[in-house]
Amino acid sequence: MSVYWNERVRRLSPYVPGEQPRDRKFIKLNTNENPYPPSPKVIEAIGRAAGDGLRLYPDPACTELREAAARRYGVRPEQVFAGNGSDEVLAFAFGAFFEGAAAGPVLFPDITYSFYPVYAALWNISFRTIPLTEDFSVNVEDYRTPAGGVVLPNPNAPTGRALSAQEITSMLEYHAPYHKVVIIDEAYAAFGAESMVPRTNKYPNLLTVHTLSKSASLAGLRAGLAIGNEELIGGLCRIRDSFNSYTVDRLAQAGAAAALSDAAYYDEINRRIIASRERVSAGLAELGFTVIPSAANFIFVRSPRMGGADLFVRLRERGILVRHFNKPRIGDFLRISIGSGKEMDALLEACGEILK
Ligand SMILES: *Cc1c(COP(=O)(O)O)cnc(C)c1O
């Protein structure tokens, strides 16, 4: 606490991101980054953008990037918003579409992306968490109840479990007559979940959020998207332009547009990650682990023989960094990102030795 902080800053409890070590070389399986490099076309596009043009402000409307996204997803550019990573897009969406207690609480799971309660607190939004079932599934019926809105990652994080588009549709239909927005955070959808984007025209209360950080190997570039009806996109623009009109720089706009235009490259590397996920899931199950079936680029696992905190430390000693959440219900689990084949071999070997 500081005497200089105002009431708002005192009240905040900020998100704590996964460790980005700078001192020693780890096998880094803790923040769901993609082990493969970005498409060579992305690097070329950033190179072309890294010139004299940097004197000038970037296009505040991110026109080329939004056009590339529109082509990729089969929507109109007016249905696309681009931001500085999807965390920014989500923060803007909370500010644009959700409200205090009078509008009813926003619903999201008790075990989910831990940034959601942080955004809610930042904007004074009331929320209610809904427990996942015993096996970490989302029960759709729980979300068909009066509320200020819904936010849900699909697949969910950190569990990796996915809902079908049909199940999400039933939430959209429930909330549509009340004009309540349902945000589907598809950070990991490219690794195995059905995207809601094709339903954009049908459900005006649907906002689908994408990031280039995971499936496009661009966590370092900071680019995220929202896809939804034009009125929702307009709301996001009003928040952005009351804050900073240039959140996506020239290099990020160029790189992200090139990534969205190279589906063939990314389909191939993400297919490899999916295959590796299945191999590692089977390997850990063989070692006695409980492995939640994952549709993402990470797995959520528990060893019956060692607690999550201990296993985290033992892996770290061996130079392998994973994510442990010291929270109710999931303290014995570890979230392990799917790295390269070699990295995953090292993980399996380390787990085998630690649990011997
Ligand atoms: C990683 C992640 C994000 C944030 O992605 P950025 O675009 O890097 O900000 C959003 N939602 C979920 C569920 C994530 O795991």
For residues 26 and 67, membership in a common domain is answered with no
Peptide bond into 37 cis (omega under 30): no
Residue-level pLDDT at 266: 98
Residue type at 210 in one-letter notation: H
For residues 122 and 192, membership in a common domain is answered with yes
Which residue's CA is the nearest one to ligand 1's atom 11? 187
Structure tokens at 170: 């039933």
CATH code, domain carrying 327: 3.90.1150.10
Which of 212, 228, 262 is where one domain is finished? 262
pLDDT digits (tens, 9 = 90+) for 211-248: 999 999 999 999 999 999 999 999 999 999 999 999 99
For residues 341 and 300, membership in a common domain is answered with yes
Look at residue 23 and tell me whether its pLDDT is greater than 80: no
For residues 245 and 334, membership in a common domain is answered with no
Radius of gyration of the chain measured on its C-alpha atoms:
20
Gap from CA of 110 to ligand 1 centroid (Å): 17
Residue-level pLDDT at 13: 87
Gap from CA of 34 to ligand 1 centroid (Å): 13
20: pLDDT confidence band, cut at 50, 70 and 90?
Answer: confident
Per the structure, the complete domain to which residue 78 belongs is given by 40-262
Structure tokens at 297: 């680029």
| Residues 6+ positions from 252 with CB-CB distance below 8 Å | 84, 221, 222, 223
Residue-level pLDDT at 22: 82
Gap from CA of 111 to ligand 1 centroid (Å): 15
Which of 227, 262, 297 is where one domain is finished? 262
Residue-level pLDDT at 203: 98
Mutate to test the pocket of ligand 1, among 15, 20, 65, 87 (most ligand atoms within 8 A of CB): 87
**Any atom of ligand 1 within 6 Å of the Cβ of 171:** no
Q: Which residues of 3-34 are buried (b: 16+ CB within 10 A; e: fewer)?
A: eeeeeeeeeeeeeeebeeeeeeebbbbbbbbb
Kindly give the residue spans of alpha helices, DSSP state H, lying in 197-262.
Answer: 230-240, 250-260
6: pLDDT confidence band, cut at 50, 70 and 90?
Answer: very high
Separation of alpha carbons 287 and 86, rounded Å: 36
For residues 205 and 297, membership in a common domain is answered with no
- Neighbouring-strand partners of residue 257: none
Look at residue 322 and tell me whether its pLDDT is greater than 90: yes
| Residues 6+ positions from 280 with CB-CB distance below 8 Å | 299, 336, 338, 344, 347, 348
CA-211 nearest atom, ligand 1: 7
Separation of alpha carbons 195 and 188, rounded Å: 10
Q: Report if residue 11 sits inside a domain.
A: yes
**Any atom of ligand 1 within 6 Å of the Cβ of 87:** yes
CA-153 nearest atom, ligand 1: 13
Q: Tell me how many domains the chain contains.
A: 2
DSSP 21-85: -SSS--EE-SS---SSPPPHHHHHHHHHHSSGGGGSPP-TT-HHHHHHHHHHHTS-GGGEEEESS
For residues 95 and 215, membership in a common domain is answered with yes
Mutate to test the pocket of ligand 1, among 81, 86, 297 (most ligand atoms within 8 A of CB): 86
Q: Report if residue 67 sits inside a domain.
A: yes
> Can you give the pTM of this predicted structure?
0.97
> How buried is residue 149: exposed, middle or buried, by Cβ count under 10 Å (0-12/13-18/19+)?
buried
Structure tokens at 253: 């706009």
For residues 32 and 84, membership in a common domain is answered with no
Full strand arrangement of the beta sheet holding 333-337: 290-292, 298-302, 333-337
Separation of alpha carbons 42 and 19, rounded Å: 26
Q: Which of 208, 168, 167, 172 is nearest to 190 (CA)?
A: 208
CATH code, domain carrying 154: 3.40.640.10
Which of 202, 237, 262 is where one domain is finished? 262
* Average pLDDT taken over every residue of the chain: 97
335: pLDDT confidence band, cut at 50, 70 and 90?
Answer: very high
Gap from CA of 319 to ligand 1 centroid (Å): 25
For residues 176 and 219, membership in a common domain is answered with yes
Mutate to test the pocket of ligand 1, among 211, 225, 323 (most ligand atoms within 8 A of CB): 211
Separation of alpha carbons 251 and 221, rounded Å: 8
Cα distances (Å, whole numbers) of residue 135 to 88, 114, 286, 291, 311: 31, 19, 20, 11, 21
**Any atom of ligand 1 within 6 Å of the Cβ of 113:** yes
Residue-level pLDDT at 21: 84
73: pLDDT confidence band, cut at 50, 70 and 90?
Answer: very high
